[in-house]
Amino acid sequence: MAEQKTYEQKPRAVRPMRGRGMPVPKGAIKKGTFTRLLKLLFKHYKWQVLLVIASIMICSVSGLVSSVFLQTIIDDVIPSGIAYGFAYIEKKLVGMIIGMLSIYLLIVLATFMQNRLMAIITQGMLYHLRTEMFAKMQSLPIKYFDTHAHGEIMSGYTNDTDATRQFIGHSLPSFISSILTLVTSIAMMLWYSVWLTLVITVCTLFMTFVVKKIGGNSAKYMVAQQTSLAQEEGFVEEMIKGQKVVKVFTYEERAKEHFDRYNDKLFHDSEKAHVFGNILGPILSNIGNFTYVLLTIVGGLWVMFGWSNVGLQSIVSGVGVMGVGVVVAFLSMSRNFTQVVNQMSQQVSMVAMGLAGASRVFTLMDEQPEQDEGYVKLVNAKRGENGELMETQERTGLWAWKHYHKADGTTTYVELKGDIMMEGVDFGYVPEKQVLSEVSLYAKPGQKIAFVGATGAGKTTITNLINRFYDISRGKIRYDGINVSKICKDDLRRSLGVVLQDVNLFTGTVMDNIRYGRLDATDEECIEAAKLANAHDFIRRLPHGYETVLTNNGASLSQGQRQLLSIARAAVADPPVMILDEATSSIDTRTEALVQDGMDKLMKGRTVFVIAHRLSTVMNSNAIMVLDHGRIIERGTHAQLIEQKGMYYQLYTGAFELE
């Protein structure tokens, strides 16, 4: 009869550890992230991005042109003005001033447009990333949530999107403008002198070396900082969520000790990251200064000795001597150039962080969604004249499975009754560890089926298979005679009401929380459900009754009250099949009896699965299945099982024998 306990198979303790062995560790950048981000940008904001690039170009070109204007005024207009009088150049001057004014106006308009567009693009991209990520998350199987730390999923919406925002909003435009300036500066420099450009190239190489050393370190420690930050965040989150337990065990001092360790590590990494980041700027800009001096000296020598100059300008004009004017013009270009190089290097660590963030966002987006190959749909039905089922649009309270048969192209309707059958089902959360073996059971409409057994015997697992949170590895589950794998998951779940032991309430009013069960339920229907679940009395006594706002998972309610609410939520959904998984464990037995009464009325003629430790919860079931290590070892009514004096008898009456 009762199989010998082996205590070898423990279902959940061997499941993969959460949050460990993540595919993408903090800081790593997946290949192709950058192009993917760009593609997304273009997908959503094609013309805006083009306009931004255009305005960046306008700004840098106009900047150049305006300095040319200024230069002309100084080099050309003033000397001739001094020579021939103000009247001589007035017209030219006014013309140039107007030219400059219009260019400046253009810059102002371009900046205005760019800033507005960037606000739209950046925030819009964040919105798209977030909503896409969230939508994707909704489609992921339960397994994903089992194997990923919640804090880590959260950080995708906060830290990672924020890093991406920095990248799109700041680094990217600054890079585009830098590259533009860089290209024009190089062109201009080559225009003036190839030799001097060579000098500056050597200096730039040196700068690149410095950036590699210091900037590389900065990026490295930035990433390390993000990791320590995440670790500290994880610790803080766990401790603060368990703060009450910390208090009870006066664990404060040791929590502080642990915290200090995380905090010191974070300080160490972030200090390093910031030191390297901070010193890069002054070092590079002063290398720029050295370069300037070097160029002046080299240029001066060139002028002094009258060496020949090679530059695009000299090729065009044929003048091969380096004049003072060339050196001066080159120098102002070189200042521009080194400043841009400096600007770009400052962005290195930001870019690294931004891409790492985006990369993690994309990782979530690339997760395999829950597969649904089901095609049988749940539809509202009514009876035709001959009693046959017909599909209808209105809610009739009668439901049918719409089953399309591919073989002969016909559609049949099967009434939804809640007839569940499992045949030889095997299952394991991980392939190498079987949790359920050879489970066979049936539940007829109107029956109440209970699962009992020691903790960890696989009771919850069975219910998880009925609503297909997980897929079985062998055997069949039939619902009203249809293989559940043929039923659309959404429709399947809609037909099943589930109340879990761990209650999750959402921020919102009590009414909102009950209505979660059926979104189109009226207030009256919600109150009716609350009465049925015996929640009405305590809700009425809340400060604002049904309009009381619950936050923090209903922290202001007692455990039992939260369970009552969750039962009301399932009751308003009014499903043909109900699964109650330790749904009343924190409710006192008298209230429970009342709740049960209500539920029995509601579920009359329908199927109910109950998991409970409490005898009172399960004893009036039509059939009780006793599970042990993933196998059904006894089945029968309460009376039958007591008579058998097996495992059930031991579990529920052993206590009395003992004393």
Partner 1 sequence: MNGTVKTLLKSVRQYKKPSLITPIFMVIEAFCECLIPFFMAQMINQAALSAPNAMEHILTYGGILIALACVSLTSGALAGKFAATASCGFASNLRHDLFYRVQKFSFANVDKFSSNSLVTRLTTDVTNVQQAYQMCLRIVVRVPLQFIFAVIMSFVINPSLAWIFLAIVPVLGAVIFSIVRYVMPFFRRIFKKYDALNNSVQENVGGIRVVKSFVREEYEKEKFDKAASEVRNDFTKAEKIVGLNAPIMTLFINFASVLISYLGVKQIIGGAGVDFTATELSALITYGIQVLSCLMMFSMVFVMLTMSVESARRITEVLNEEEDIKGVENGVQEVASGAIRFENVSFKYAKEATVYALSDINLDIRSGETVGVLGGTGSSKTTLIQLIPRLYDATEGNVLVGGVNVKDYDLKALRKDVSVVLQKNVLFSGTIKENLRWGNENATDEELIEACKQAQADEFIRSFPEGYDTYIEQGGTNVSGGQKQRLCIARALLRKPKVLILDDSTSAVDTKTDALIRHAFKKAIPDTTKIIIAQRISSVEHADKILVLDGGKIIAQGTHEELLKSSDVYREIYQEQTKIKSQGGER
Footprint of partner 1 on 611-640 (CB under 8 A): 613-616, 619, 638-639
Measured CA distances, 286 to 216, 218, 291, 335 (Å): 19, 19, 8, 11
Q: What angle do CA 229, 234, 239 make, to 5 degrees?
A: 125
Find the part of the chain contacting partner 1 (CB under 8 A) among 190-198, 242-250, 392-400, 420-428.
242-250
In the DSSP assignment, the letter for residue 370 is: P
Q: What is the token pair recorded at 80?
A: 């001739």
Question: Considering only CA atoms, which of 425, 484, 442 is closest in space to residue 609?
Answer: 442
Build a one-symbol-per-residue string for 533-572: x at contacts with partner 1 by CB under 8 A, - elsewhere.
Answer: -----x--x---------xxx-x-xxxxx--x----x---
The residues that bridge with 625 in the sheet, in sequence order, are: 451, 635
| Helix H or strand E encompassing 430 | none
Report the residue number, 243 or 483, with the smaller CB distance to partner 1. Answer: 243
Question: Does 10 engage in binding with partner 1 (CB under 8 A)?
Answer: yes
Measured CA distances, 58 to 38, 47, 104, 133, 544 (Å): 22, 16, 10, 36, 60
Q: What is the token pair recorded at 295?
A: 């160029």
Q: Which of 38, 50, 68, 82 binds partner 1 (CB under 8 A)?
A: 82
* In the complex, least distance from residue 590 CB atom to partner 1, rounded to whole angstroms: 6
Question: Does 371 engage in binding with partner 1 (CB under 8 A)?
Answer: no
Burial 599-629 (b: 16+ CB within 10 A, else e): beebbeebbbbbbbebeebbbebebbbbbbb
Beta pairing, strands 377-383 & 389-391: antiparallel
Build a one-symbol-per-residue string for 144-173: x at contacts with partner 1 by CB under 8 A, - elsewhere.
Answer: -xx--xx--xx--xx---------------
Scan residues 267-306 and list those touching partner 1 (CB under 8 A). Answer: 267, 270-271, 274-275, 277-279, 281-283, 285-286, 289-290, 292-293, 296-297, 299-301, 303-304
- What are the φ and ψ backbone dihedral angles of 381, each rounded to 5 degrees? -135, 160
Q: Which of 3, 12, 212, 474 binds partner 1 (CB under 8 A)?
A: 12
Q: Which of 531, 586, 633, 636 binds partner 1 (CB under 8 A)?
A: 586
**What is the Cα–Cα distance from 615 to 638, expressed in whole angstroms?**
9
Question: Does 38 engage in binding with partner 1 (CB under 8 A)?
Answer: no
Report the residue number, 290 or 375, with the smaller CB distance to partner 1. Answer: 290
Question: Does 77 engage in binding with partner 1 (CB under 8 A)?
Answer: yes
CA atoms within 13 A on the CB side of 95: 7
Find the part of the chain contacting partner 1 (CB under 8 A) among 320-328, 396-404, 442-450, 475-483.
320-328
Q: Which of 386, 588, 601, 604 binds partner 1 (CB under 8 A)?
A: 588
Report the residue number, 153 or 310, with the smaller CB distance to partner 1. Answer: 153
Name the H helices within 394-473.
459-466
Build a one-symbol-per-residue string for 416-455: x at contacts with partner 1 by CB under 8 A, - elsewhere.
Answer: --------------------------------------xx
In the DSSP assignment, the letter for residue 544 is: T
Report the residue number, 34 or 272, with the smaller CB distance to partner 1. Answer: 272
**What is the Cα–Cα distance from 247 to 245, expressed in whole angstroms?**
5
Report the residue number, 126 or 312, with the smaller CB distance to partner 1. Answer: 126
Q: Which of 183, 506, 523, 544 binds partner 1 (CB under 8 A)?
A: 506
Question: Does 65 engage in binding with partner 1 (CB under 8 A)?
Answer: no
Report the residue number, 14 or 190, with the smaller CB distance to partner 1. Answer: 14
* In the complex, least distance from residue 128 CB atom to partner 1, rounded to whole angstroms: 9
Scan residues 471-490 and list those touching partner 1 (CB under 8 A). Answer: 490
Q: Which of 227, 263, 313, 509 binds partner 1 (CB under 8 A)?
A: 263
* In the complex, least distance from residue 580 CB atom to partner 1, rounded to whole angstroms: 12
Measured CA distances, 110 to 56, 106, 117, 203, 297 (Å): 7, 6, 10, 33, 39
Name the H helices within 140-248.
142-147, 150-155, 161-166, 172-192, 194-210, 216-241, 243-248
